[in-house]
């Protein structure tokens, strides 16, 4: 019985792993490819080659995952990307969704 109690205490003392969120960037016909590459490099800390590759995935598909983060970070990065796009008058859609 003491072993079961010890295991329960160890399980309770472990912190919960925060739920992860994917930041999705969607394809559109108006946002320039070079702007998307800049967003990926500046906001999502991608190297240039990785950013270009990801941008092409977005361009050829309907969307791609720019990164996976805890909820607050994912929402902040998505909001920064959208704000920057709006300042440049682009309709780029970026959102944070709960990772499966």
What DSSP character marks residue 1? -
16: helix, coil or strand? coil
Contact 25, 66 (CB under 8 A): yes
pTM (whole model) above 0.75: yes
Range of the domain at 87: 16-98
Q: In the predicted model, what is the mean pLDDT of residues 49-72?
A: 96
3-state helix, strand, coil in the chain (%, to 5): 50, 20, 30
1-29 residue pLDDT tens = 555 565 555 555 566 788 999 999 999 99
Residue 2 falls within a domain, yes or no? no
Q: In the predicted model, what is the mean pLDDT of residues 35-58?
A: 98
Given a cut of 90, whether residue 80 has pLDDT beyond it is yes
**Number of domains present in the structure of the chain:** 1
Closest residue by Cα to residue 30 from 95, 89, 96 = 89
Residue 79 maps to which CATH number?
3.30.1390.10
Strand intervals (E) in the chain: 20-26, 63-70, 94-98
């Amino acid at each position: 019985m003491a072993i079961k109690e010890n295991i329960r205490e160890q399980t309770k003392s472990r912190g919960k792993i925060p739920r992860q969120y994917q930041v999705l960037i969607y394809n559109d016909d108006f946002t320039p490819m070079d702007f998307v590459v800049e967003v990926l490099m500046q906001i999502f800390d991608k190297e240039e080659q990785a950013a270009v590759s990801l941008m092409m995935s977005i361009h050829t598909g309907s969307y791609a995952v720019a990164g996976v983060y805890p909820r607050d970070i994912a929402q902040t990065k998505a909001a920064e990307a959208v704000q920057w796009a709006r300042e440049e008058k682009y309709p780029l859609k970026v959102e944070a969704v709960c990772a499966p």
